[in-house]
């Protein structure tokens, strides 16, 4: 790494980490020199956050059994057990979520707990805790920290009144005000910034690096990585894939390294979409379905036009797409870009607008009952929060929605007096327990007592019990083990084949989508970045995910 | 076997149950008649049972414990006082009617034989719509304060009692047995129901075992009927939806259930049950207690259902039965037994320790299970 004999600023060797027997990092080794900027990239779940947590001594690491390997700073081994130790060693971290106090000014936030104090009698008698603040000195210090970044923010401005971009600068200013900061971790600092703000930030970071601070820059925007960083470290599935100078890589190469799993498996049996050929139809992206095809198949099962959904953390801005009857349609993309907002919005769980047509007929938005009574079923990504009644038995969980929407599993006269038919409920539950191989003691076991995979199967059973014509599924395999994963995916495929049900799967795992779906739409920043046949090479998806405007057009698989 | 029983019953119930058993065993040695004590326990069980039942709908719908029970009680008090107010007048009208058209059966049924039960029924019939309206408003309020229902409910109860303190004075009641004698207006603090519907349920079908022990069959049957209605309701489509709302409101919403509507229905039901409950209580107690009477009525009911093993979001009829019996048992036994033993009046202290202690215990349990 270093051609002279001095040891690097930070050196990681063979870092590994397991959470409850689930390996998330293995054998990560790289080093950072003073004044270097390293780009750290990887998909969601590649292990970036875990790596940061280890470096920053987050308690979650120690409480789950520590980590493997060793960390050296200036050649000396260190082992942080709390963030304070990491701070003392000169490591600064800017998190994805702001950790600022909204009601405080920029100055107060930057100098929080490092305030400039006035000496007084009181502080001699008691302690520093009672001394007053030297506002002027604080103002100047904050100002100089902000100026280092090359932006113009009034230090007396209250944080809650700032635009998002400013807040990001304040976060960074806070880290560089700390005199001993030598290594700065930035976790997606540009995600919330506008393009000009991002540019200013990049310039500021370069300046900082020149002053001798090493920077680890995490971003999903590969062009920024290319521009800013001298070296790129790619993580995938907890492994270090590459560590090489950024000049040697194109953004396309980085994307394919990140997404990985070479596109060999699919290419054999599906005709490869020739990129050259379709690349002429640039604008097909925004109107996914070409005109002539629409005439052939008059009414898509689901047509979404200019949908917006206000789901916190997953905002959908303007999304249009068509799903054909009997198709398995995938929605992928990075976390926080709005892919989960689409099904949640269609099902009426979050405020939404735009037009959704179901078999040609307009669907009322913002009312779950409207969507459900049109024979749509939904499996939520939030299994324990939305998907299940944890305190109720399995038969309740499975039959409740069908009972409320379709009036099944009831005895008595409709609209006048109906009591639930416990026997029918149990039988329905038993049917699904057998067919989906749900491991439980019986229909009366409480849903909260099952394992993640079996809970997911209960969620599927709930959806199947509605006998849906369209099934929307979010993150079908999140948090469940591999065996259950395959079973869940196979069940979906089978259900699609047997009943001709249109299925829309939303998942963070691209590979999973590509293996199950006919077509996959990639969502970026609340919009559809592109729709590709599942057989397209992985790097095409990777590029779309990274927000690179590749000229890729979709082509129908049917 | 024993461990399973303990797990099912829960330690608090076993400890209180054993304490109660101990009191019954100790009773003869301090000169307390066990039969009388048992009789008292049973009567108090019947008196309070319906008010404890009033907890179930709200708990099941996730609105927490009904600390706003005084609101339902006020509806019941209105029903009770109005039934007394109109009783004489209606009776005389009926007599006139019977005399005019020579309808002797009218006299037979309404005036002579069934005057008391009909008076009691009229109190309930008047109270129900009042409770429904108050409950609906109360439900609307609770829908705006999701997560803090119990605290808001407590203050709804308190403030409604205070408001009614003014209203009792100002409402134009005329009946001489109910208004203050010296002013001729404004209701008295306690109104006797003797001669109207005193003990209509207690004495109906009562089975006398010996001088000190009579089973108040009518009251127990009435409680059983109301309990059955609640039990069946919780099994209807609406009741099921209500339970789901209490169990996981997000799940219910995603299943197309109108969460706010279910919560409002549950609050209306709880309030109506509270209104019926107080009327049952009064017919056995013998007096209608106005003004600050209902102020602390919610606490024994809350404590009973918690003692019965309910949590703040799950309650069953069995919880009501077990809890009411244990709580009322402690209440009857401690004054007689402990007082005879210690020669001091400890009853109020013990009652407060048990009821408030149970509430405290249940609320801490909620925090531990908190998500």
In this structure, is residue B6 part of a structural domain? Answer: no
pLDDT of B366 reads 53
In this structure, is residue B276 part of a structural domain? Answer: yes
pLDDT of A6 reads 67
Q: Is B84 exposed, middle or buried (0-12, 13-18, 19+ CB in 10 A)?
A: buried
pLDDT of A410 reads 87
- Averaged pLDDT, A492-497: 89
Percent above pLDDT 90 for chain A: 14
**Inter-chain CB proximity B251 and A410 less than 8 Å:** no
Asked which of A186-190, A211-215, A405-409 is least confident by mean pLDDT, the reply is A186-190
- Averaged pLDDT, A234-256: 84
Q: How far is A98 from chain B (nearest CA, A)?
A: 24
In this structure, is residue B25 part of a structural domain? Answer: no
pLDDT band at residue A287 using 50, 70 and 90 as cut-offs: very low
Residues on chain A touching B257 (C-beta within 8 angstroms): 369, 404
The CATH number given to whatever domain includes residue B79 is 1.10.3470
The partner residue sitting opposite B254, judged by closest CB among A368, A390, A418, is A368
> Is the pLDDT score of B129 beyond 80?
yes
> For residues A476 and A383, what is the distance between their CA atoms, to the nearest angstrom?
10
Percent above pLDDT 90 for chain B: 35
> For residues A173 and A153, what is the distance between their CA atoms, to the nearest angstrom?
11
> Is the pLDDT score of B176 beyond 50?
yes
Over residues A165-211, the pLDDT tens digits come to: 788 888 888 888 887 888 888 888 877 777 777 888 888 888 888 88
Over residues B55-72, the pLDDT tens digits come to: 999 999 988 888 899 999
In this structure, is residue B1 part of a structural domain? Answer: no
pLDDT of A338 reads 86
Percent above pLDDT 70 for chain B: 96
Cross-strand bridge partners of residue A25: A17
Over residues A474-491, the pLDDT tens digits come to: 988 877 777 778 888 888
pLDDT of A250 reads 82
- The domain in which residue B128 lies consists of 31-361
**Inter-chain CB proximity A403 and B240 less than 8 Å:** yes
> In chain A, whose CA is at the least distance from the CA of B245?
A389
> In chain A, whose CA is at the least distance from the CA of B234?
A419
DSSP state of A41: E
pLDDT band at residue B295 using 50, 70 and 90 as cut-offs: confident
pLDDT of B33 reads 84
pLDDT of A261 reads 54
pLDDT of B70 reads 93
pLDDT of A271 reads 37
> Is the pLDDT score of B324 beyond 80?
yes
Interface test with B, best of A401, A424, A448, A473 (most B CBs within 10 A): A401
> In chain B, whose CA is at the least distance from the CA of A405?
B256
Note the CATH number of domain A263-375+469-558.
Answer: 3.40.50.300
In this structure, is residue B169 part of a structural domain? Answer: yes
In this structure, is residue B142 part of a structural domain? Answer: yes
Q: How far is A166 from chain B (nearest CA, A)?
A: 34
> For residues A474 and A342, what is the distance between their CA atoms, to the nearest angstrom?
10
> Is the pLDDT score of A32 beyond 80?
yes
Topology alike, domains A1-90+180-260 and A263-375+469-558: yes
> Is the pLDDT score of A144 beyond 50?
yes
**Inter-chain CB proximity B235 and A372 less than 8 Å:** no
Over residues A56-102, the pLDDT tens digits come to: 888 888 887 788 888 888 888 888 888 888 888 888 888 777 788 88
pLDDT band at residue B275 using 50, 70 and 90 as cut-offs: very high
In this structure, is residue B367 part of a structural domain? Answer: no
**Inter-chain CB proximity A404 and B243 less than 8 Å:** no
Q: Is A438 exposed, middle or buried (0-12, 13-18, 19+ CB in 10 A)?
A: buried
Asked which of A145-154, A300-309, B221-230 is least confident by mean pLDDT, the reply is A145-154
> Is the pLDDT score of A558 beyond 60?
no
CATH topology for the A1-90+180-260 domain? Rossmann fold (3.40.50)
> Is the pLDDT score of A268 beyond 70?
no
DSSP states of B36-94 as a string? HHHHHHHHHHHHHHHHHHTHHHHHHTT--S-TTHHHHHHHHHHHHHHHHHHHHHHHHHH
Residues on chain B touching A368 (C-beta within 8 angstroms): 253-256
Closest CA to A401 of B61, B244, B260, B236: B244
In this structure, is residue B190 part of a structural domain? Answer: yes
> For residues B282 and B191, what is the distance between their CA atoms, to the nearest angstrom?
10
Domain ranges of chain A: 1-90+180-260, 99-179, 263-375+469-558, 387-467
The partner residue sitting opposite A391, judged by closest CB among B236, B255, B314, is B314
Domain count, chain B: 1
Higher pLDDT, B101 or A406: A406
pLDDT of A276 reads 38
């Amino acid at each position: 790494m270093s051609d002279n004999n001095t040891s690097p600023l930070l050196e990681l060797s063979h870092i590994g980490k397991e959470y409850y027997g689930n390996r998330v990092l293995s054998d990560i080794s790289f080093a950072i020199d003073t004044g270097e900027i390293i780009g750290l990239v990887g998909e969601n779940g590649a292990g970036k956050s875990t790596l940061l947590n280890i470096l920053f001594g987050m308690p979650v690491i120690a409480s789950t059994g520590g980590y493997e390997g060793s960390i050296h700073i200036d050649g000396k081994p260190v082992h942080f057990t709390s963030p304070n130790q990491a701070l003392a060693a000169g490591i600064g971290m800017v998190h994805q979520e702001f950790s600022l106090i909204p009601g405080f000014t920029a100055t107060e936030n930057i100098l929080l707990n490092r305030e400039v104090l006035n000496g007084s009698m009181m502080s001699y008698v008691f302690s520093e805790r009672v001394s007053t603040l030297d506002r002027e000195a604080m103002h100047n210090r904050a100002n100089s920290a902000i100026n280092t970044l090359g932006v113009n923010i009034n230090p007396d401005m209250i944080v809650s009144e700032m635009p998002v971009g400013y807040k990001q600068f304040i976060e960074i200013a806070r880290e560089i005000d700390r005199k001993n900061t030598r290594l700065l971790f930035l976790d997606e600092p540009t995600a919330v910034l506008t393009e000009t703000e991002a540019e200013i930030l990049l310039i500021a970071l370069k300046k900082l690096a020149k002053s001798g601070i090493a920077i680890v820059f995490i971003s999903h925007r590969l062009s920024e990585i290319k521009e800013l960083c001298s070296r790129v470290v790619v993580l995938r599935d907890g492994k270090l894939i590459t560590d090489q100078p950024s000049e040697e890589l194109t953004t396309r190469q980085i994307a394919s390294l990140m997404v990985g799993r070479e596109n060999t498996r699919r290419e054999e049996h599906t005709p490869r979409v020739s990129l050259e050929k379709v690349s002429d139809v640039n604008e097909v992206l925004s109107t996914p379905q070409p005109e002539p095809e629409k005439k052939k198949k008059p009414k898509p099962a689901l047509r979404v036009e200019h949908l917006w959904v206000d789901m916190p953390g997953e905002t959908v801005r303007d999304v249009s797409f068509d799903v054909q009857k009997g198709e398995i349609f995938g929605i992928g993309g990075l976390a926080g870009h709005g892919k989960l907002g689409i099904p949640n919005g269609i099902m009426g769980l979050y405020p939404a607008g735009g037009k959704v047509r179901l078999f040609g007929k307009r669907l009322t938005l913002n009312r779950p009952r409207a969507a459900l009574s049109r024979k749509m079923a939904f499996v939520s990504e939030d299994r324990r929060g939305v998907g299940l009644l944890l305190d109720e038995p399995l038969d309740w969980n499975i039959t409740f929605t069908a009972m409320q929407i379709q009036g099944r599993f009831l005895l008595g006269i409709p609209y006048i007096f109906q009591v639930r038919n416990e026997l029918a409920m149990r039988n329905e539950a038993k049917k699904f327990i057998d067919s989906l191989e749900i491991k439980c003691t019986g229909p009366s076991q409480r849903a909260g007592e099952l394992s993640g995979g079996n809970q997911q199967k209960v969620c599927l059973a709930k959806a199947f019990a509605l006998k849906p014509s369209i099934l929307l599924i979010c993150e079908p395999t999140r948090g469940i083990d591999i065996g259950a994963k395959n079973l869940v995916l196979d069940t979906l495929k089978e259900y699609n084949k047997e009943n001709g049900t249109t299925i829309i799967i939303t998942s963070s795992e691209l590979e999973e989508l590509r293996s199950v779906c006919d077509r996959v739409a990639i969502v970026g920043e609340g919009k559809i970045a592109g729709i590709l046949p599942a057989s397209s090479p992985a790097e095409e998806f990777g590029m779309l995910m990274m927000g690179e405007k590749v000229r890729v057009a979709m082509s129908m698989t049917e | 076997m024993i461990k399973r029983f303990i797990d099912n019953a829960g330690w608090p119930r076993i400890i209180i149950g054993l304490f109660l058993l101990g009191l019954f065993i100790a009773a003869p040695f301090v000169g307390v008649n066990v039969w009388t004590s048992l009789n008292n326990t049973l009567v108090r069980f019947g008196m309070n049972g319906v008010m404890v039942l009033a907890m179930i709908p709200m708990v099941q719908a996730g609105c927490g414990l009904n600390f706003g029970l005084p609101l339902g009680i006020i509806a019941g008090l209105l029903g009770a006082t109005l039934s007394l107010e109109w009783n004489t007048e209606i009776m005389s009208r009926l007599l006139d009617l019977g005399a005019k058209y020579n309808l002797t059966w009218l006299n037979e049924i309404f005036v002579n034989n069934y005057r008391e039960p009909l008076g009691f029924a009229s109190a309930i019939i008047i109270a129900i719509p009042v409770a429904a309206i108050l409950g609906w408003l109360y439900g609307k309020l609770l829908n705006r304060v999701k997560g803090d229902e119990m605290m808001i409910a407590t203050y709804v109860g308190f403030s409604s009692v205070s408001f009614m303190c003014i209203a009792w004075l100002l409402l134009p009641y005329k009946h001489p047995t109910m208004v203050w004698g010296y002013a001729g207006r404004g209701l008295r603090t306690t109104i006797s129901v003797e001669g109207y519907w005193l003990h209509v349920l207690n004495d109906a079908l009562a089975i006398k075992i010996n001088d000190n022990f009579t089973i108040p069959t009518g009251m127990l049957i009435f409680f059983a009927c109301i309990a059955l209605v609640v039990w069946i309701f919780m099994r209807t489509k609406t009741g099921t939806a209500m339970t789901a709302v209490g169990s996981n409101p997000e799940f219910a919403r995603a299943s197309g259930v109108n969460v706010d509507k279910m919560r409002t229905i549950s609050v209306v039901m709880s309030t109506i049950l509270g209104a019926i409950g107080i009327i049952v209580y009064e017919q056995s107690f013998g007096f209608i207690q106005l003004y600050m009477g209902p102020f602390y009525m919610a606490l024994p009911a809350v404590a009973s259902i918690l003692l019965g093993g309910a949590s703040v979001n799950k309650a069953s009829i069995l919880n009501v039965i077990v809890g009411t019996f244990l709580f009322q048992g402690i209440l009857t036994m401690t004054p007689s037994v402990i007082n005879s033993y210690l020669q001091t009046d400890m009853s109020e202290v013990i009652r407060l320790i048990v009821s408030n202690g149970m509430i405290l215990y249940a609320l801490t349990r909620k925090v531990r299970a908190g998500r």
